[in-house]
Structure 1
Amino acid sequence: MSSATSTETGTATGADLAAPRSEELAALLVGQSRPPRPGALSASLTFGWRAMLKIKHVPEQLFDVTAFPIMMVLMYTYLFGGALAGSVSAYIQFLLPGILVMSVVMITMYTGVSVNTDIEKGVFDRFRTLPIWRPAPMVGYLLGDVVRYLIASAVMLTVGLVIGYRPDGGIVGVLLGVALLLVFSFSFSWIWTMFGLLLRSEKSVMGVSMMVIFPLTFLSNVFVDPKTMPGWLQAFVNNSPVTHLATAVRELMAGEWPAADIAWSLGWSVLFVAVFGAVTMRLYNRR
Structure 2
Amino acid sequence: MSTTTAEPAPGTRAPRSAGGIRQSLSDSLVIAQRNLLRMMRIPEVIIFGLIQPIMFVVLFSYVFGGSINLPGAGVDAEAYRSFLMAGIFAQTVTFATAGAGAGIAEDMHKGLIDRFRSLPMARGAVLTGRTLADLVQTALTLVVLAVVALLVGWRAHEGILKALAGFGLLLLLGYAFTWIGALIGLSVRTPEAATSGGLVWLFPLTFISIAFVPAENMPSFLQNVAEWNPFSATVLACRELFGNLPANYPTPDAWPMENPVLASVLWSVVIIALFRTLAVRKYRSAT
Output the TM-score relative to the length of structure 2: 0.84
Quote the residue 2:63 is aligned against. 79
1:193 to 182, 191, 194: 182
Between the aligned partners of 2:149 and 2:13, the Cα distance in structure 1 is 57
Question: Paired residues, what number?
Answer: 261
Structure 2 residue matching 1:39: 3-state secondary structure: helix
Q: Which moved more, 1:274-283 or 1:258-267?
A: 258-267
2:117 equivalent to 1:133: no
Which letter maps to 1:84?
I
- Report 1:205-284 matches (<5 A): 205-254=194-243, 260-284=259-283
How far 1:87 moved relative to its partner?
Answer: 4.5
Distance 1:259 1:234, change over 3 A: closer
2:60 equivalent to 1:61: no
Quote the residue 2:82 is aligned against. 93
Q: Which moved more, 1:45-54 or 1:57-66?
A: 57-66
Between the aligned partners of 1:259 and 1:241, the Cα distance in structure 2 is 13
Structure 2 residue matching 1:29: 3-state secondary structure: coil
Between the aligned partners of 2:191 and 2:10, the Cα distance in structure 1 is 45
Which letter maps to 2:39?
I
Quote the residue 2:250 is aligned against. none
How far 1:153 moved relative to its partner?
Answer: 0.9
Is 2:165–2:241's contact at 8 Å kept on the other side of the alignment?
yes
Which letter maps to 1:119?
M
Structure 2 residue matching 1:108: 3-state secondary structure: helix
Between the aligned partners of 1:81 and 1:259, the Cα distance in structure 2 is 26
Which letter maps to 1:280?
A
How far 1:27 moved relative to its partner?
Answer: 7.6
- Report 1:14-93 matches (<5 A): 29=9, 34=14, 39-84=23-68, 86-93=75-82
Between the aligned partners of 1:31 and 1:48, the Cα distance in structure 2 is 28
Quote the residue 1:4 is aligned against. none
1:145 to 115, 120, 134: 134
Aligned identity (percent) is 33
Between the aligned partners of 2:107 and 2:63, the Cα distance in structure 1 is 39
Between the aligned partners of 1:157 and 1:31, the Cα distance in structure 2 is 51
Is 2:157–2:242's contact at 8 Å kept on the other side of the alignment?
yes
How far 1:71 moved relative to its partner?
Answer: 0.9
Post-superposition Cα deviations, 1:195-230, rounded to whole Å, max 9, x if no partner, equal 111111122222222221110011111111111212
Between the aligned partners of 2:274 and 2:194, the Cα distance in structure 1 is 19
Post-superposition Cα deviations, 1:220-252, rounded to whole Å, max 9, x if no partner, equal 111111112121110111110110110111111
Structure 2 residue matching 1:97: 3-state secondary structure: helix
Between the aligned partners of 1:33 and 1:201, the Cα distance in structure 2 is 37
2:101 equivalent to 1:112: yes
Is 1:65–1:151's contact at 8 Å kept on the other side of the alignment?
no
Is 1:66–1:152's contact at 8 Å kept on the other side of the alignment?
yes
Output the TM-score relative to the length of structure 1: 0.84
Distance 1:242 1:32, change over 3 A: closer
Structure 2 residue matching 1:82: 3-state secondary structure: coil
Is 1:105–1:185's contact at 8 Å kept on the other side of the alignment?
yes
Between the aligned partners of 2:61 and 2:264, the Cα distance in structure 1 is 25
Structure 2 unmatched ranges of 5 or more: 1-5, 70-74, 246-256
2:193 equivalent to 1:204: yes
Structure 2 residue matching 1:224: 3-state secondary structure: coil
Between the aligned partners of 1:49 and 1:31, the Cα distance in structure 2 is 26
Distance 1:259 1:34, change over 3 A: farther
Between the aligned partners of 1:133 and 1:224, the Cα distance in structure 2 is 44
Distance 1:33 1:47, change over 3 A: closer
How far 1:35 moved relative to its partner?
Answer: 7.8
Quote the residue 1:11 is aligned against. none
Post-superposition Cα deviations, 1:130-176, rounded to whole Å, max 9, x if no partner, equal 11111111000110011111111111111111111111112222211
Structure 1 residue matching 2:25: 3-state secondary structure: helix
Is 2:96–2:178's contact at 8 Å kept on the other side of the alignment?
no
